[in-house]
Amino acid sequence: MALENQTVGTGRVGRGIVGSVLIGRLGWTLISFLTLIALWALVAALLQSRLFPGPLEVGAKFASEAASGELAYHVGITLARVAVAFFLAMVIGCAIGIALGVAKGADQFFDTWLIFFLNLPALVTIILCYVWFGLTEVAAILAVAINKIPNVAVTVREGARSLSRDLDEMATIYRFGTWKTLRHVTIPQLAPFFAAAARGGLALVWKIVLVVELLGRPNGVGHQLHIAFQLFDVPMILAYAIAFILVVQIIEIGVLQPLEARVNRWRR
Amino acid sequence: MTRAEPAIRVSIEQKVFPAIADRPEHVVLAGVELTIERGSFVVLTGPSGCGKSTMLNIVAGLDTEYEGAVVFGEDTAKLAFMFQTPRLLPWRTVEENVALVLDDDTPNPTEKVAAILLRVGLSEAANAYPERLSLGMQRRAALARAFVIEPDILLMDEPFVSLDDPSADSLRALLIELWNRRPTTVLFVTHDRIEAVMLATRLIRLGGRPAHIVQDTGVDLSPDERLDREKVLAWRMRLFENA
Ligand SMILES: Nc1ncnc2c1ncn2[C@@H]1O[C@H](COP(=O)(O)OP(=O)(O)O)[C@@H](O)[C@H]1O
Ligand SMILES: [Mg+2]
């Protein structure tokens, strides 16, 4: 049983309790959020500085940027870059992770490489990609993906190392074949590790994409922040930051959490 | 292929586990020769750690690192294995677990699965995930999974250990019922001597170091006598006196 029972420390969501917990949590989130805004407004009123605008000023900027379509355009571009880089990093990282987890020899050989790439500062990868491939879209996305791949690989490798031999034998006896084994035995065991890699990965990709845009792209949230920085336009910086946080949260709550709950629905 | 052809011919000259960590290389099985007739219920007993599971894994083809040969009466013999733990897929429902072992071209898979689940008393739990069920029910599901493919050969490795007596009894009764309904060649490992006599048509004991067959007897109890604990015990006593 020991092998079959293992779980990974990702968020577990039981079906029945979701409803009541959600309402309670939503209430608290709202209170906490409103307090933060009030505090912000208070500090801004006390400081009376052009460099520390209050919520109203930032809200107005947000509205005008949204109305002009600028906001949607740049957020959309950033989102697209995140999506492509994230997808690439997940596919390549998972493949590497599974290979290393299953093949001991390869793991021993490539472990040093992995540690090297894990510890390579994101900024170095970005600069080198731009230097070697020019200030292009490909270089930008490559830089983000390369930053992310080692993390995905390490997480998934952990899962592949702990694949249950018991279940594998069961699949052999009952002649599951490659495809059936992959679909019903292997991938479900790795799912929690995929989820952990995706979650940790998305948080990282968001941040790196902004830096990549700031350094070498003519559009996207990172580029807008760069412009705002040069003009010392703090309301604009905050307006984009808020838009950014909103989008990330919508994806987290609307996509990632339901997906995780679905993947984990068999757990006790 | 004639009816008289044995179902399995096992010949293990030697099975050696190589040295790992602090354990030296050791020979577990040597000179194990066994011919199993079709439709017989062979029970394999022996002290814990003597190599029963190792032998079963060799017969199942899960372990190929040995000297010798295992030959089946038919090249296409369909194998089922009931392990010591249920080994169900926790992320698939009971019904899905049973359905998954069927070949893709099996006619009426849904009906087949429903019928076997009814037989083992799991119709209500068909849509439950295994980890929400008791160990006894998980074992029932594993039994259903083993029988649904209508195997030619059924291997069982202490499939009823760590159950309370009533659950183990009812699972044994179920196994006997399923076996009577569709006689299958069974190789069953247990260290429960009562269970061994209750189920076996042929009783084989492994012993010695390295292990080999030290006793091989037919069990001529009638189906009714097998369900009578006293009769089973008496039979065992006689076996000891003769040995
Ligand atoms: N993978 C293995 N590597 C090394 N030794 C093993 C391995 N599997 C089993 N053994 C050893 O082989 C012997 C027989 O084990 P096993 O067949 O499980 O015994 P039984 O099922 O009769 O209790 C034991 O001494 C056990 O420690
Ligand atoms: Mg054993």
Tell me what pLDDT residue A61 has. 93
Mean pLDDT of chain A: 88
* Ligand 1 center to A105 CA (angstroms): 26
Give the minimum alpha-carbon distance from B131 to chain A in angstroms, rounded to a whole number: 6
Tell me what pLDDT residue B224 has. 84
| pLDDT mean over B77-96 | 94
Confirm whether B224 is domain-assigned: yes
Q: Which residues of chain A are under the pLDDT cut of 50?
A: 1-15
Tell me what pLDDT residue A134 has. 94
Confirm whether B12 is domain-assigned: yes
The answer to whether residues B219 and B210 touch, using CB atoms and an 8 Å cutoff, is: no
Name which residue leads in pLDDT, A118 or B240: A118
Residues of A in contact with B88 (CB under 8 A): 4
* Ligand 2 center to A6 CA (angstroms): 22
Tell me what pLDDT residue B20 has. 86
Query: What's the ipTM?
Result: 0.91
Note the pTM of the prediction, 2 decimals.
0.79
Q: How far apart are CA A263 and CA B58, in angstroms?
A: 36
Coil, helix or strand for B46? coil
Q: Does A178 touch chain B (CB under 8 A)?
A: no
Q: Is the peptide bond before B210 cis (omega within 30 degrees of 0)?
A: yes
Q: What CATH class is the domain A50-267?
A: mainly alpha
Residues of A in contact with B145 (CB under 8 A): 174
Confirm whether B9 is domain-assigned: yes
Neighbours of A82 (CB within 10 A): 23
User: Which tens digit of pLDDT belongs to each residue from B187-226?
Assistant: 999 988 888 999 999 999 999 889 999 989 998 888 888 8
User: Which pair of tokens denotes residue B203?
Assistant: 């009783």
Tell me what pLDDT residue A23 has. 65
Confirm whether B227 is domain-assigned: yes
Q: How far apart are CA B181 and CA B127, in angstroms?
A: 26
Number of domains in chain B: 1
Q: Does A184 touch chain B (CB under 8 A)?
A: yes
The DSSP bridge partners found for residue A110 are: none
Tell me what pLDDT residue A10 has. 41
Q: Which domain holds residue B9?
A: 1-77+183-243
A5–B60: do the CB atoms touch at under 8 Å?
A: no
- Residue from B17, B48, B59, B189 whose mutation best tests the ligand 1 pocket (most atoms within 8 A of CB): B17
Per DSSP, B23 falls in state B
- Ligand closest to the CA atom of residue B159: 2
Tell me what pLDDT residue A53 has. 93
Neighbours of A248 (CB within 10 A): 15
CATH of the domain at B187: 3.40.50.300
Confirm whether B122 is domain-assigned: no
Confirm whether B71 is domain-assigned: yes
Confirm whether B117 is domain-assigned: no
- Ligand closest to the CA atom of residue B65: 1
B89 closest CB neighbour out of A5, A167, A191: A167
| pLDDT mean over B73-83 | 89
User: Which pair of tokens denotes residue A1?
Assistant: 């049983």
- Residue from B26, B28, B62 whose mutation best tests the ligand 1 pocket (most atoms within 8 A of CB): B28
B87–A188: do the CB atoms touch at under 8 Å?
A: no
Q: How far apart are CA B163 and CA A179, in angstroms?
A: 35
User: Which tens digit of pLDDT belongs to each residue from B117-175?
Assistant: 998 999 999 999 999 999 999 999 999 999 999 999 999 999 998 888 888 888 888 89
Tell me what pLDDT residue A203 has. 81
B87–A167: do the CB atoms touch at under 8 Å?
A: yes
Q: Does B139 touch chain A (CB under 8 A)?
A: no
Torsion angle (degrees, nearest 10) of CA A143, A147, A153, A154? 170
The answer to whether residues A185 and A168 touch, using CB atoms and an 8 Å cutoff, is: yes
Domain boundaries, chain A: 1-48, 50-267
pLDDT range class, residue B3, cuts 50, 70, 90: low
Tell me what pLDDT residue A3 has. 40
Residues of B in contact with A172 (CB under 8 A): 61-62
Residues of B in contact with A175 (CB under 8 A): 103
Confirm whether B204 is domain-assigned: yes
